[in-house]
Amino acid sequence: MTQLDGAVVLVVGATGGLGRRITAELEDAGATVVGTSRAGGAGLVVADLERDLSGLVPHVVATHGRLDGLVIAAGVVAFGPLTEVSDAAVRELHEVNAQGPMRLIRDATPALAESAAAGREPFIVTLSGVVSESPTAGLAAYSASKSALAGFVSAATRELRRLGIRIMDARPGHTETGLATHPIEGTAPAFATGLDPDAVAARIVKAIADGEKDLPSSAF
């Protein structure tokens, strides 16, 4: 079990369809949440996964004294056949969905290791989604960016375990978060009704509290 009451958790993408729900669930469990968004806002820290975030974790530690958890809930999507996806879309997909999270996990590791050394149970949560399990036609570039994140997490799990840090990747199926309605490129196909985002967020936070190590699509 992971004690969330009193934990300091950084949620990147705290205004998104899942991010804001995960934030609410964590706060209901007693966690102190530092939320970020690209635009900032009341109580939020400005953070963009395409840009240098090397000061983000030090800011959290300076403000709250420590970091016990990191949830990366930010992401972008693009639709369309592989012959039409633009260089700009490919770059943004990989920066936001893969490279940015990789850099942030790297930067957060020392603070999370200190949390482990102090006897707490630090964690990292990523959201690669079902497309990392089943890459999808019409979403090739998006699938590739999420698969890159899932591959990174799979290897990083073994490294971080030695430091006392648990990293868990969540791979829910299509969820009604609204992300598909504002892609960076292309138009969403007609999806079947997706998962309830409240239920998905609750499942993720339950998994954090219960000490689960992986959340495949079959867990939702």
Residue-level pLDDT, tens digit, the chain, 220 residues:
899 999 999 999 999 999 999 999 999 999 999 999 998 888 899 999 999 999 999 999 999 999 999 999 999 999 999 999 999 999 999 999 999 999 999 999 999 999 999 999 999 999 999 999 999 999 999 999 999 999 999 999 999 999 999 999 999 999 999 999 999 999 999 899 999 999 999 999 999 999 999 999 999 9
Q: Is residue 81 part of a domain?
A: yes
pLDDT in tens, 13-32: 999 999 999 999 999 999 99
User: Which amino acid, 46?
Assistant: V
Q: Is residue 65 part of a domain?
A: yes
Q: Is residue 16 part of a domain?
A: yes
Range of the domain at 44: 8-219
What lies within 8 Å, CB to CB, of 160 at 6+ separation is 109, 112, 124, 166, 167
List the CATH number of the domain containing 116.
3.40.50.720
Q: Is residue 1 part of a domain?
A: no
Q: Is residue 102 part of a domain?
A: yes
Tally the domains of the chain. Answer: 1
